[in-house]
Copies of this chain bind each other. A is one copy, B any other.
């Protein structure tokens, strides 16, 4: 044991963060130890504060510090459109793009037969309730273009049949700034099938 036990414990906890291993956690803790006042103490305080106050939004599943997340609490956002995402990370990515002005619904994962994740393990029943209760016009399925993501999208589309809501999904095609030469065959095929008149 090189460092005192308390510091080794801290290194062990830091090493569990994604992107940090035992070596880089050690380096990060050493840097924190050198900047105890300006960085370590504020970071510890910010982390303790968030750990204490963060909670899942009771409506959409986004993470906030109140029972209603800032987006659900914002009256200027269109209640007629619900964008369904797998995860809070996806919600943040959508918000960074700044292109969507409706509300969200965070599923908390995807359906997966392998990991035995069923609709009840996700926020799918809650989504169907919301669509009925909020008189939603459109549900946008912004799920990842993976097998599990698309299976989940399909399941939700079927479950919402009969509610009269319009269901759409994100367009597939060439990424903005993307070069054809580096794209996979599936994306090029999808972009060709969904071609638009100029």
Residues of A within 8 A of B (CB): 1-4, 6-7, 9-10, 13-14, 16-20, 24, 26-33, 36, 39-54, 63-65, 69-70, 87-89, 91-93, 95-96
Contacts and interface: CB of A to CB of B under 8 A. Distances in A.
A13 B46 contact: yes
Say how many copies of this protein the assembly contains.
Answer: 2
* Main DSSP-derived SS at the A contact region: helix
A103 B43 CA distance: 33
B39 A16 contact: yes
Contacts of A6: 46, 49-50, 53-54, 65
Contacts of A51: 32, 36, 40-41, 44
B13 A39 contact: yes
A95 B88 CA distance: 42
Given A32-B17, A50-B33, A2 B95 contact: yes
